[in-house]
Amino acid sequence: MATDLCPILINGEWRQATAYDSFVAENPATGKPLKVAYPKSEWDDIEAAVVAASEAAVQMQELDPQKIADFLTAYADEIEAHAAEICELASIETGYPVKPRLQDVELPRTTGQLRQAARAAVDPSWRLPTVDQEANIASILEPVGPVVVCGPNNFPLAFNGIAGGDFAAAIAAGNPVIAKAHSSHPGTCRVLAECAQQALTVTGMPKGTVQLFFGIRRADGERLVRDSRVGAAAFTGSRTAGMALKASADSVGKPIYLEMSSVNPVVILPGALEERGDEVLDELVTSALMGTGQFCTNPGIVFLVAGSTTNAFLDRLAARYDEQPCGTLLSKGTQEGLVAGIEALKRAGAEVVCGNRPAAREGYAWSNTLLRVSGERFMADPEVLQTEAFGNATLAVIADDVAQLAALIGCCEGNLTGCIYSAKDGRDDPSYPSVAKALRPLVGRLLNDKMPTGVAVSPAMNHGGPFPATGHPHFTAVGIPAALRRFTRLACYDNVRPERLPDMLRCYMNING
């Protein structure tokens, strides 16, 4: 292997990987390869990371939580100090514009999450401490152990395995993180890891608290998430990769939290369309094409009721799709996946209303695509017609009438979100309950009169939902402190002598006694 491969971060040191291969990322706006080569590691590297993380996990249990909070805050500061460099590199690797997307939205979201997590690290109330003085039993949610985090391609900062929501939650809960860089933005991961490493040093954290590698064999990934020394894993990405990791982790009862595919159904009731069709059109176009549609909560399927108003709405929607510029897609794979998704929808009977052709520009891009299919056809092949065409494509499903909507929704799989637009003057109110009743159990977040993109980092947020949106409907990936609970195990102390209780629990014993 060439010795000029980017080093990996193991146990507090940037070291040369034991590489069996290497890769370079591409600039998706041009399709040209970038210069730096990144290693794909042999298991030896992973083994070293697991050993260091296990040691760090034990050390972190003994730490004053304030130290963990200090690290998270220092890391946020470091990211801000390197904001220009990070955003420029992330822009080159993802095709997202530096402003507003990266610098004004995603980077502040990232540092905001880290700072929120820092506050949660020192507040044990979210750990649900429970004390039974009479029985002399106490329980609390404790760190689960080293967490493996694999971030997605579409948020190089806010969901990055080494800086994003899962990372912040795992660390704040008291666990070291072993992060796998996403292969489409490895440089961004490296710079973030340098910031993290600096913050670790400044705050005197255990060396194995944050580690980074760039690539491993699929089989080694599966081995890693079922390793007995690992506490849990978090994965955001494709259903295929997610399910393979899940099967491995599940085989040994190891928690794995996945965010996979979601088509995020949007139901537009007829009254809303009549009352404020232009407004809804604007919201839909913005939500569906923002970031070239590359959001987990992109509104991929829109349910409408047949009629002239709907036909006119779709005509205007197609016109807007045609006139909007075609954004850059994250990678060649993303473009191939989008085109394959559209083809699957077509084969199942969806008709192309507009788009579905190469974009007239360099790099990875595809024209904004609108498809339509009848309710009857949708019900005949609901599985294929829910194929996630990740990117700037939208499927309109046209119900015969309002009564058919609930049946159509009843054919849907689990999703992160579901939206219902209804008239403000009450004319859709008779239709709302049956639609909501069908949609509510299928989605993690039910919205009214609002598109699903824009996942507020709010304590009340649920960025989760029934399978296949995630692997378990009880947990959320966004929202502090709730997201932290994923990376804990319930620990109970029965008749344990007071001086031997963990500090975090002892303070509750005293308060309640």
Residues contributing to the site for a copy of itself (CB under 8 A): 58, 128, 130-132, 135, 137-139, 141, 144-145, 246-247, 250-255, 258, 414, 417, 432, 436-437, 440-441, 444-450, 456, 458-462, 464, 466-468, 470-476, 479, 482, 485-486, 488-497, 500
* Residue closer to a copy of itself (CB basis): 89 or 249: 249
* Residue closer to a copy of itself (CB basis): 209 or 334: 209
* Residue closer to a copy of itself (CB basis): 365 or 439: 439
Report DSSP state, residue 326: P
* Residue closer to a copy of itself (CB basis): 28 or 146: 146
What lies within 8 Å, CB to CB, of 443 at 6+ separation is: 265, 414, 415, 416, 417, 418, 465, 466, 469
User: In angstroms, what CA-CA distances link 280 with 151, 154, 161, 266, 451?
Assistant: 32, 25, 35, 11, 9
Q: How far is the CB of 165 from a copy of itself (least distance, A)?
A: 15
- Give the separation between CA 204 and CA 197, rounded to whole angstroms: 10
In this structure, the strands spanning 210-213 and 351-354 are unpaired
Q: Which of 6, 189, 296, 419 is catalytic?
A: 296
* Residue closer to a copy of itself (CB basis): 114 or 461: 461
Q: For residue 363, is it left (φ>0), alpha (ψ between -120 and 50) or beta?
A: left
Q: How far is the CB of 172 from a copy of itself (least distance, A)?
A: 16
What lies within 8 Å, CB to CB, of 104 at 6+ separation is: none
- Give the separation between CA 4 and CA 19, rounded to whole angstroms: 11
* Residue closer to a copy of itself (CB basis): 33 or 441: 441
Residue 352's closest CA among 336, 363, 341, 364? 341
Report DSSP state, residue 424: T
Q: Which of 26, 78, 93, 259 is catalytic?
A: 259
Examine the residue annotation and report whether 296 is marked as an active-site residue of this protein. yes
Q: How far is the CB of 440 from a copy of itself (least distance, A)?
A: 7
Examine the residue annotation and report whether 413 is marked as an active-site residue of this protein. no
* Residue closer to a copy of itself (CB basis): 148 or 338: 148
Residue 48's closest CA among 3, 12, 11, 14? 11
- Alpha-carbon torsion 399, 401, 404, 405, what sign? positive
Q: How far is the CB of 100 from a copy of itself (least distance, A)?
A: 20
Q: How far is the CB of 57 from a copy of itself (least distance, A)?
A: 8
Q: How far is the CB of 510 from a copy of itself (least distance, A)?
A: 15
Distance of CA 407 to the CA centre of its chain: 29
Q: How far is the CB of 442 from a copy of itself (least distance, A)?
A: 10
CB atoms inside a 10 Å sphere around CB 383: 9
Tell me which residues are annotated as active site: 259, 296
